A = this chain, B = another copy of it.
């Protein structure tokens, strides 16, 4: 999984019918100190994450293992909201 920061939402009327009802979040990848990288991903929300929150993103086929995303054309899901990181380096 990778770390990201929710920065927005995608609006799409015309879409695969299996995507109807899913909230699609724009998530910037972040470093361990939460500084933002230049890359981003669009991920389905499975935990009620809001803009500004640091989240865990699960990608690939594993993104379809949450209850909300099963059998859907989703390759990235916000699977957790991060409280804090304990890093010893």
Contact = CB atoms under 8 A, between A and B. Distances in A.
A36 to B, nearest CB: 8
B7 A89 contact: yes
Contact of A80 (B14, B47, B52, B63): B14
Contact of A81 (B2, B14, B48, B64): B14
Contacts of A16: 46-47, 66-67, 77, 79-80
Name the 8 nearest CB pairs between A and B, nearest first.
A15-B80, A8-B87, A12-B80, A62-B75, A1-B42, A65-B73, A58-B73, A14-B81
Nearest to A89: B7
Interface string A1-35: 11100011111111111110000101010001000
